[in-house]
Chain A
């Protein structure tokens, strides 16, 4: 009994896909009526499923057209499908019954993609993804016509990744639009897209995109394997996939980078990474990711190399500030007053005299207040947002100080920390710092700088132990890879960084030689007979 039960479970798990979603892979019925009633029954008479029955003028052939309202393009269905089916004079002019569908597909329906539907599973899958099904009475097969459409958000500037210089396009919720945005940037037949459906219930379209010949086969296979292992009822956003395929699920640091910008994806593909698109979200993952990538913004690649390099360096320093500023203040004021310059110490202790709390409580109070404000700011309706932020600013600033609950220095520290955490281009990295900061404050309050330095070493060791698809997370810094260093903390000018990162690919050549621009040799100044003062005439 138990054996049979286990066996049953096993088989159940194996076939859940087919059983639960699309019905068994059974053949369609011959009669149109029974087909239609079966569909009605299977979909629970849902009101958005439209079933249109019609009869052709000449042969009195019964035809059923089924589609889901809202995810199809009404115009296409009306103009090209219904009209041509109704108008057509002769469907069955010649040949046997089986060719009816062929005639419809070849001669009557003027749509891009018309394919045959052989069984119920295929029928439901096509129907639910926005295709229109055409069934003919007396035929055991059907046709599906591509009529995908419906209302979607248009392409807008990505709100989370704004750049000063660079394209203003961002991804939308439509998978096809997203891939097209990338394809428009890389016009190359080697840009390959593989698609699969994930989620037993949601049947979410997921596509991986890479440049054949640049992306490493090893990473590709690894990714395919990890994606195929996903067995969930639903995939609603890239976050689901990220959590299921990352190397180190227990780390607070993100090991998979995501972006909303097609130019960022194109750049990453050119470096040999692989992009993962998920239908229904404007965010695109790319793997493998390294730590330093979370501090690079697309602007870096469009602005001058010196500026980009110093900005990147600054971002990392600021990231450290956002991690350590309150903790350092707590440690210095509770344990190491002797390390504060005397005059500053006098100022600080004068401020802290009236404050009833130890520094760590003070820091916690302010940090938590700020986190509340921030979290509220995201949830608040925009109409009241402004009011609340003014109140919040008053609470966090002036009032708290005047009431003698916190010292002005603490307010400065918290403000710097708060602003610092917004400089990290990647939200997921910034949010990790937000979390760790509180732990660090506790460490600082109990062990002072000793604890902070040890925590720094442990954080570094932890980061060094992470991997993203087998690539060391801290590369190219540790392990140090000189060839890849040109695009890490610093960015070398285009002409100085001739190779693709070795981490992701073995095909490294990416530009021809002699890309460094040089001015023309002479502007004929030397050759001319010049008199004194000729050059600064005007």
Chain B
């Protein structure tokens, strides 16, 4: 662990930016069709529950990283194995998200720039910031949060002023019953983006006021969830479900539909700022978690020795995890939620908490 402290306010902002990172931009929860927003809302509920699990674990071990307390809960060997798996998980997701953002940028604006260059550039900036430590990452978040929210409000106002919103597009609600919605929640929106908060278990020990973790985390998840819901509602009501389901970046299409006074149009740059800032924090936090986890597990002193090797690992695996974008997407839909998100976000933390509760009861009795 590095010597650093962040405030609950900064944690709130990091969670907010992290959640919004990709969820704002991609077509999220669309297997629930017009009720995607409902699926996101329910997913947020699930995310809040997950957060309570993580926070309960943190309460048992407020000063140490998960990579260490896993060893205390399940014993040295199993704990180390688990911690190692988590590191792989974080690195893999960091690489995945990096690939996602690279592909997005390539399709959206840079069709002639090699993917590798785009990824390398983004990762270079992340490595630079992470190198400065979690405090700097958090402070950068504070400033960019203001910018992002400012843009979001302007964007929202412009959409409303342009008279694009057709709330009819959202009706009928629950056309095919609650079934598809629940299915979407369980297979999709619970994990992305809400379950991904698991990465913040690696950040909790840096809090300067541990008591406020719960409030900061819950409000962070709730606010970001509501923002994603609003975005999805706006997307569907502006574009209609059919268009959204065919679009790769619904938000971009919504923004492109804005036209005010024949001058305020083509505000793609808003989308780009949101895209890059979000991606920056999402990958940055995953990368940071993997980094301190590795340093903690393998007892390496000083992050700077690990940062370049791990950065290269993320960069190259982002290029090699899939041979094409469609393969990448298929992996993301079929493989990752079931075999990675579900165990790492839900099952393992829940089991750990169970064991921790039992162990601590025993201790109290003795």
Which residues of A451-501 have CB atoms within 8 Å of chain B's CB atoms? Answer: 451, 453-454, 457-458, 460-462, 464-465, 472, 474, 477-480
Contact (Cβ within 8 A) B121 A479: no
Contact call A451/B121, Cβ cutoff below 8 A? yes
Interface size on B, residues (CB 8 A): 35
Which of A340, A341, A457, A465 has the most chain B CB atoms inside 10 A of its CB? Answer: A457
CB-contact partner of B263 in A341, A464, A465, under 8 A: A341
**Cβ A458 vs Cβ B129 within 8 A:** yes
Least CB distance, B67 to chain A, in whole angstroms: 26
Q: How far is the CB of B1 from chain A (nearest CB, A)?
A: 19
With a cutoff of 8 Å between Cβ atoms, the chain B residues found around residue A370 in the complex are none
Q: By the criterion CB–CB under 8 Å, are A454 and B122 in contact?
A: yes
Cα A449 to Cα B108 in complex, Å, equals 12
Chain A residues within 8 Å of B, Cβ to Cβ = 335-336, 338-341, 447-451, 453-454, 457-458, 460-462, 464-465, 472, 474, 477-480
Instruction: Please tell me if the beta carbons of A479 and B142 are within 8 angstroms of each other in the complex.
Output: yes
- B7: chain A residues within 8 A (beta carbon): 479
15 contacts between A and B (CB under 8 A): A335-B109, A336-B268, A339-B268, A339-B269, A450-B105, A450-B276, A451-B121, A454-B125, A457-B140, A461-B129, A464-B140, A464-B143, A465-B132, A474-B143, A478-B139
Using A453-B273, A457-B276 as known contacts, say yes or no to A479 and B139 having CB atoms under 8 A apart.
Answer: yes
Interface residues of B in 54-81 (CB under 8 A from A): none
Q: Answer whether residue B128 sits at the interface, using C-beta atoms and an 8 A cutoff.
A: yes
What does DSSP make chain B's interface, helix, strand, loop or mixed? Answer: helix
Measured in the bound complex, the distance between the Cα atoms of B110 and A225 in whole Å is 52
B322 at the interface (CB under 8 A from A): no
Instruction: List chain A residues, Cβ under 8 A from B276.
Output: 450, 453-454, 457
Q: How far is the CA of A458 from the CA of B136 in the complex (A)?
A: 11
List 7 additional contacts besides A336-B268, A457-B129, A464-B139; criterion CB under 8 Å: A339-B269, A341-B265, A447-B113, A454-B276, A461-B140, A465-B136, A474-B139
> Which residues of chain B from 237 to 263 have any CB-CB distance to chain A below 8 Å in the complex?
262-263
Residues A458 and B109 in contact in the complex (CB < 8 Å), given A464-B140, A465-B136, A478-B140: no
Q: Please give me the residue from chain A that is nearest to B132 by CB atom.
A: A465
Q: Closest 4 CB pairs between A and B? A: A478-B139, A464-B139, A478-B142, A465-B132
Is B266 within 8 A of A479, CB to CB?
Answer: no
Decide: B269 and A454 in contact? CB cutoff 8 A: no
Q: For residue A344, which residue of chain B has the nearest CB?
A: B263
> Would B109 and A472 count as touching, CB distance under 8 A?
no
CB–CB A461/B136 < 8 A: yes
A453 to B109 Cα, complex, angstroms: 14
Q: What residues on B are CB-neighbors of A338 within 8 Å?
A: 266, 268
Assembled-state Cα–Cα distance A335/B110 (Å): 9
Enumerate B71-121 residues with CB–CB distance to A below 8 Å: 105, 109-110, 113, 118, 121
Query: How many Å lie between the Cα of A460 and that of B273 in the bound state?
Result: 14
CA distance A477 to B138 in the complex (A): 12
Q: Tell me which of B110, B113, B280 contacts A457 (CB under 8 A).
A: B280
Residues of A within 8 A of B142 (CB): 477-480
Least CB distance, B12 to chain A, in whole angstroms: 11
Nearest Cβ in chain B — how far from A362, in angstroms? Answer: 22
Chain A residues with Cβ below 8 Å from B357 are none
Q: Return chain B residues, CB-CB under 8 Å to A457.
A: 125, 129, 140, 144, 276-277, 280
A336 CB contacts on chain B under 8 angstroms = 109, 268-269
The residues of A that contact B273 with a CB separation of less than 8 Å are: 453
Given known contacts A341-B265, A477-B142, A461 and B277 CB-to-CB distance under 8 angstroms: no
CA distance A458 to B144 in the complex (A): 11
Q: What residues on B are CB-neighbors of A472 within 8 Å? A: 139
User: Which residues of chain B (127-150) have a CB below 8 Å from chain A?
Assistant: 128-129, 132-133, 136-140, 142-144
Report A460 CB to chain B, min CB distance, Å. Answer: 5
Measured between C-beta atoms, what is the minimum distance from A440 to chain B in Å? 14
* CB of A324, distance to nearest CB on chain B (Å): 12
- Verify if B9 is at the interface (C-beta below 8 Å from A): yes
B109 & A450 in contact (Cβ 8 Å cutoff): yes
B129 closest partner in A (C-beta): A461
The digit string for B7-20, where 1 denotes a CB below 8 A from any CB of A, is 10110000000000
Find chain B residues with CB under 8 A from A450 CB: 105, 109-110, 118, 121, 272, 276
The answer for the CA separation of A384 and B31 in the assembled complex, in Å, is 75
C-alpha spacing A538/B14, complex, angstroms: 63
- Assess the B266–A340 pair: CB atoms within 8 A: yes
Closest to B272 in A: A449
Kindly list chain B residues whose C-beta atoms are within 8 Å of the C-beta of A461.
Answer: 125, 128-129, 132, 136-137, 140
CB distance from A319 to the nearest CB of B (A): 14
Q: A449-B269, A450-B110, A453-B272 are in contact. Are A479 and B10 (CB under 8 A)?
A: yes
Q: Kindly provide the distance from the CB of A453 to the nearest chain B CB, expressed in whole angstroms.
A: 5
Which residues of chain A have C-beta atoms less than 8 A from B265's C-beta?
Answer: 341
A339:B266 contact, CB within 8 angstroms = yes
Give the contacting residue for B128; candidates A335, A458, A478; CB below 8 A.
A458
